[in-house]
Amino acid sequence: MVLLRNIRFVSHCERHMAPVNGRALIGYLPRDRVVGISGVARVVDAFSKRLQIQEKITAQIASTLETELRPHGVAIVVEGAHGCMTSRGVHQSQATMVTSRMLGLFPEQPQLRHAFLSAINRATAASLGTFFSVAHPIR
């Protein structure tokens, strides 16, 4: 499994046009093509530039990687701090939204999901606490 972590992006939410500071964590199972951080960063960048909603960015990145790389599977988790949530309205400065998308073998094989989630879990446990619980795999 290739794991690419903390690919940062800045987007703007479709509803409020407020900034969204996000990061993507991506895992994929290469078939024959691999791509590095810069290739994935370009994909993330392309979809986050326009006015967006986070669920859509997540789905678009996943399906683009699936089309371009033809991997055995793609797993992506996106975490975003939404300006419309953190600095106005409800003023939840620490709140983030987490969205995910799993394609190919990931939705089919729980042990792969587990491997992906525990890999990003180990790495992000310090900052996120128990947010990504492997006991409740994200689908």
Site for Zn ion, rule CB under 5 A: 13, 15-16, 84
| Of residues 57 and 117, the one with the C-beta less far from Zn ion | 57
The distance of closest approach from Cβ of residue 90 to Zn ion in the complex, given in angstroms and rounded to an integer, is 11
| Of residues 97 and 105, the one with the C-beta less far from Zn ion | 97
The distance of closest approach from Cβ of residue 98 to Zn ion in the complex, given in angstroms and rounded to an integer, is 16
The distance of closest approach from Cβ of residue 81 to Zn ion in the complex, given in angstroms and rounded to an integer, is 11
| Of residues 22 and 71, the one with the C-beta less far from Zn ion | 22
- The DSSP-derived string for the chain is -EEEEEEEEEEEETTT--EEEEEEEEEEE-SS----HHHHHHHHHHHHHSEE-HHHHHHHHHHHHHHHH--SEEEEEEEEEEHHHHTSTT--TT--EEEEEEEEHHHH-HHHHHHHHHHHHHHHHHHHTTSS-TTS---
